[in-house]
Structure 1
């Protein structure tokens, strides 16, 4: 198949999943065309069957804000026509699915692709729920050939919020368990031998509650000797730095910024700590579990479908610092508990989130929408 993909080319879970899916599909012989504002974060090397197309930003005095959605739609239409794209996969309803619909309408009828839209959470819970975008978000989904979501929780939330005419299918995120696995790392470059490593990975948006990470970690230090590695960057980084200064733990925190090969860093952690307000899935949680690292997270959104409380990690209420400290100390002070949780975590990943099966589920969706399109065209002729 010839498949187009549009996603956020950033370190967020949606862009990472879209990129990994494209790479996996290319490995199965499909021709994949990415159309994004910049090359996707994890697409940093040549691979056969992968092509990237960059959307040109138009800066013109008439426009106070560059009309990115129109530029994106034009580029999708151009790439689809030139390369005979059969399926376009939009990750995010707004703006990506809406732009793809506009692009499809620009094409001659015989060139129009099938649109599959995958929801990752923010496009529904924050952007789509805003009155300014609700109608556009619903339009994007209702006019897609198929809509999927990355967790059962997100599928249910979408159907409840938007009252769609057909159900949203759940297809979980996945990872490559050969890349994400326990392996030797240069731990000495990250912390002293006598320090446990607590790791937080995010784009530092407010929903990630990075100040909760710092506050809970400062109290864990009263019971265990540890170092906090903050991986990623974003608007709340300065807030985290400020809270660390107030609590006097600045010297126990290292800010690593964005790391491309996170699979080479995760195995060094003794605990991955993700106290988000909500997560539609929890890709970082899955990556940590694949590396046999216990996870401390919040029981919100789709995370409860990934992390099993008391088995592969611990889940706390949002903002429940006391519980986070208690469970964090339990893991950091008991190597036997941590090792057992880590082992069960990887077993959970291999059993429920295997790459080959989940990529196959997406292929089945593509084949289904193409079959229905052929049947519809046959009836019309």
Structure 2
């Protein structure tokens, strides 16, 4: 049965975060199955088109009047959402989202099934405006969750430990996140090494993230000197936005001077293409996920690295620890513990372990966007009923 699906979230492609990457893969996989998929999101940069078709997904971006902390204010969302909900069979929100409550209320008025995919808890930076924005987003999320027919999360582990989600466990549907890394050739790996001047003799400690407070970058900074005592050719290579992360200027000002003291043992690559990221995962000796709180609920990049055979060191957070527990491909270390992080990294670097074969194939199949889209399709059809 072909469905008309409306997906609503604050940021969408080309913005890069775990939430947006998830939503892009979900939307495109559902469209590939033959469903009509529309994404309603913000025109967070004025040069982005307000209407676009990308891989059979219709994208509608609403102009932003102003920003409030990490959120945006879009006056046009009321009328546009009302119209699009009428044209849709079902609405799928991605939380956290400041506008979620409004869209949820409109969906219920229109008597449309409502699914909310809950990605992570909210923890705002210091400051009155940030705190007010966080309170508003939290209230919006609670209203949305209360009105939702189902709440989707990556793992029960995170849901049962989330201060927010544990109130709504009766609505929980666990669907693993959509994860895929395209194959990369030896020539593409060579081009990557040349372009970014990677020393092939280095032991590469990879990190893929935004430079944001919840990512725990400072603990990797503190761990690196201890690693270098035993492995003097180790180098951290950081992939992702580190210069203009929305709402993270104070954190950047705190962390960058610490990183600068490490000299050439730390290298920023910035935002890179998907092909380059695949090459990067294949070249890493270990990928590190030192996240520190529940604004990280899974960490898709660690599974991306694992599917390339690269082991992972991740912190012992609900949800975040699950990929290592599921696959056995890495180490779990205590949160905010630089010494334990260094030991986990050293254990892997000294073992020179890599994975291949059936384990990688099983991992790729388990997290494939097609499998995830099928799980969403099954949920949607259940909520719509036999006559949907």
* Distance in 2, Cα, partners of 1:217 & 1:155: 32
Question: By how many angstroms is 1:355 displaced?
Answer: 3.1
Change (3 A) 1:285 1:128: farther
- The two structures have a TM-score, normalised by structure 2, of 0.80
Closer, same or farther in 2 for the Cα pair 1:57/1:211, shift >3 Å?
Answer: same
Q: CA RMSD in A?
A: 3.4
**Counterpart for residue 299 of structure 1:** 316
Residue matched to 1:359: 373
Which residue in the other structure is 1:164 paired with?
168
Q: Distance in 1 between matches of 2:331 and 2:98?
A: 35
* Kept after mapping to 1: 8 A contact 2:312/2:324: yes
Q: Deviations over 1:199-237 (max 9, x none)?
A: 111122111111112221232122220221111223234
Change (3 A) 1:191 1:133: closer
Look up the SS of the partner of 1:333 in the other structure. helix
Aligned residue pair count: 356
Show the counterpart of 1:142: 146
Instruction: Give 2:303's aligned residue.
Output: 286
1:142 to 1:257, Cα distance in 2 relative to 1, 3 A:
same
Question: Residues 1-381 of structure 1: matches in 2 within 5 Å?
Answer: 1-7=3-9, 8-9=11-12, 10-38=15-43, 47-58=54-65, 68=73, 70-81=75-86, 84-104=87-107, 109=110, 112-123=111-122, 133-158=137-162, 163-164=167-168, 166-177=170-181, 179=182, 185-186=189-190, 187-188=193-194, 189-224=196-231, 225-232=233-240, 233=242, 234=245, 235=248, 236-245=251-260, 248-261=261-274, 262-278=277-293, 279-308=296-325, 311-335=328-352, 338-340=353-355, 346-347=360-361, 349-350=363-364, 352-371=366-385, 374=387
Map of 2:128 onto structure 1: none
Q: Distance in 2 between matches of 1:315 and 1:221?
A: 20
Cα distance, 1:303–1:4 mapped onto 2, change above 3 Å: same
Deviation at 1:39, TM superposition (A): 8.0
- The alpha-carbon deviation at position 367 of structure 1 amounts to 0.8
SS of the counterpart of 2:189?
Answer: coil
Q: Give deviations 1:70-120, integer Å, cap 9, x for gaps.
A: 533332223334xx2111111105324313124336x7x4xx532210000
- Distance across 2 between alignment mates of 1:67 and 1:350: 35
8 Å contact from structure 1 (residues 115, 145) kept in 2: yes
1:269 and 1:344, CA in 2 relative to 1: closer, same or farther beyond 3 A?
farther
- C-alpha distance 310-364 of structure 1, shift in aligned 2 (>3 A): closer
Distance 1:158 1:244 in 2: 32
Cα distance change, pair 86–124 in 1 and its aligned pair in 2 (3 A): farther
Q: Which runs of 5 or more residues in structure 2 are unaligned?
A: 126-130
Shift of 1:13: 1.0
Q: 1:46: how far off?
A: 5.7
Tell me, what secondary structure is at the counterpart of 2:210? coil
Inter-CA distance 334–164: structure 2 relative to 1 (3 Å threshold): closer
Over 3 Å counting, the alpha-carbon distance change for 1:129 and 1:158 in structure 2 is farther
**Deviation of 1:253 (Å):** 1.5
Contact 2:114 2:150 in 1 (8 A): yes
| Greater relative contact order structure (CA < 8 Å, 6+ sep) | 2
More deviation, 154-163/357-366: 154-163
Say which is worse superposed, 155-164 or 212-221, in terms of deviation. 155-164
Gaps in structure 1 of 5+ consecutive residues:
376-381
Deviation at 1:259, TM superposition (A): 2.3
